[in-house]
Amino acid sequence: MTNAVTLEMSGSHIAIITLNRPEAANSFSHQLMDDLEAVIHEVKQNDAIRCVIITGSGEKAFCAGADLKERSTMTQQQVVQTVHRIGEVVNKVESLPCPVIAGINGAAFGGGLELALSCDIRYASETSKMGLTEVSLGIIPGAGGTQRLPRLIGLGKAKELIFSAKRIDANEALSLGLVEQVVPQQTLIEHAIQQAERIAANAPIALKQAKQAIQQGYQVDLQSGLSFEWMCYQTTIPTNDRLEGLKAFKEKRTPDYKGE
C-alpha cells in the first residue's frame, strides 16, 4: 500500500513532508493521519532536522480538508472523534520545535487551511485557492481555524472569511497576510527549499528558542512575553554554537553550527 504521507530529506537538515493522496485532493483520511503522525514523530526524533516543509502531491491540492467520502459513512460520534483527531494532528505540526514552512501548491480548504495555519511560514503557488468553508456545510472550523486565523490576519477579516465561507485566491491571501509570498507553481518547492536552507544555516538551538519565544509570547501580555523571551535567550548563552557564531564573525567566515 502506498504511504499517504512521504518524508524525504533535502540535504542534511531539511525535511520535506508530502501529503500523498492526489486522487483525493490530499484530504485527511484516517490513513493519512496515521502516516502524518508517524512522520511527525520521526522528524521530532531527528535532531539533525532544522527546518521542515509540508506540501501536497500534485498541482491541484495542498489539502482539501476532511475526506468527505469517508466521513459520509460515519456516525455522529465518529465524525466528532475524527475532527478532534485532525485537530490533534494539526497541533502536533505546530508543536514541532523547528520552523515549519507550508508550500501551498493548490487547494487548501477547511482542515487543509488549518494545517497550513499551524505552520510558521506559508508560501503559496499562483494557482492556489484557500478558505475556511465549513459553515457552508453546516459546521464550523474545528481544527484550530477559529483561533489561528484571527491571530494571523485580525479579528474582523477572519470573521468575514469564516462567516461567508469565502474562497480566496493566492493574491488575496497575500494581501490579507495569510501567506508570506506567492510564487509560480513550478518553482514553489524550489523557493521553499531555498528559504529553508537560509533558515537551516542558522544555529539550531537558537532557532528552536526563537520559535518558542514567539509562539508562547504571542499568547500572553507583553510583560509576560518579555520574561519568556529572556528565559529562551538565556538558554542559548552556554551553547557551543553561540561561541562558534562569535568566532566565525571575528574570522569573517560562515559559522559551522552543530546544535550543541
Q: What residues are annotated to the active site? A: 66, 111, 114, 134
CA angle 14-177-29, nearest 5°?
Answer: 55
Strands 129-131 and 100-104: what pairing? unpaired
Crossing angle of helices 204-217 and 222-236, rounded to 10°: 170
Are residues 21 and 57 in contact, defined by beta-carbon separation less than 8 angstroms?
A: yes
CA distance 53 to 128: 17
In our burial notation (b when 16+ CB lie closer than 10 A, e otherwise), range 154-190 reads eeebbeebbeeeeebebebbbebebbeebbeeeebbe
CA distance 21 to 27: 7
In 12-72, beta strands by DSSP E:
14-19, 51-56, 61-63
Q: Which CB contacts under 8 angstroms, 24+ apart, belong to 78-86?
A: 82/30, 83/142, 83/143, 84/142, 85/33, 86/28, 86/33, 86/111, 86/114, 86/142, 86/143
Q: What are phi and psi of 64, to 5 degrees?
A: -85, 10
